Amino acid sequence: MDIIKTTKELAEILNEKKLSYIYVKDGELEIEIGVPDMPPIVNYAGSTVLTHEIPAPMENTPPPAGGAVTGDTPGNFVKSPIIGTFYAAPAPNKSPFVKVGDKVEKGQVVCIIESMKLMNEINSEFAGTVAEILVKDGEAVEFDKKLIRIE
């Protein structure tokens, strides 16, 4: 493998896709290329892919208000567009995107789903008030799983 050629090709991908970070490992070879402070701008199914900091699950995240959460209540639901891990905040030391009782606008970021080491910002398709957060921070989610109920 020609490491110079591979590095140039990865740099071109980084530039073309407007990524902020690429990491590739092939056997003993590891290549890591990054652009500092580049804003996340790659779209995926109505979401924004963050290609940098991967937050760990938040500690001491309070359970959703209102007792048992089932998602059976009628309303508008933000659903996961992909399989991955749900994160309520952009980083462990940051505030959650939304909490129960918050007003949200259509298109507002309400959570992150990590999938294949990419952080996907999930936008609300509805305006209203957050009535329930149906998953816990750090919980694995399936495609089309109800994440947040908005009234």
> For 51-95, how does the pLDDT look when each residue is reduced to its tens digit (9 = 90+)?
444 444 444 444 444 444 455 677 899 999 998 999 999 888 889
* Beta bridge partner(s), residue 112: 87, 121
Whether the full predicted model's pTM is greater than 0.75, yes or no, is no
Over the chain (151 residues), the average pLDDT of each successive run of 10 is 75 75 73 57 42 46 46 81 91 90 94 87 93 93 93 91
User: Is residue 119 classed as helix, strand or coil in its secondary structure?
Assistant: strand
User: Is residue 128 classed as helix, strand or coil in its secondary structure?
Assistant: strand
pLDDT of residue 75: 80
pLDDT of residue 14: 74
Q: Please calculate the CA angle 73-77-81 and round it to the nearest 5 degrees.
A: 140
pLDDT of residue 70: 52
| Side-chain-facing half-sphere of 57: CA atoms under 13 Å | 13
pLDDT of residue 31: 74
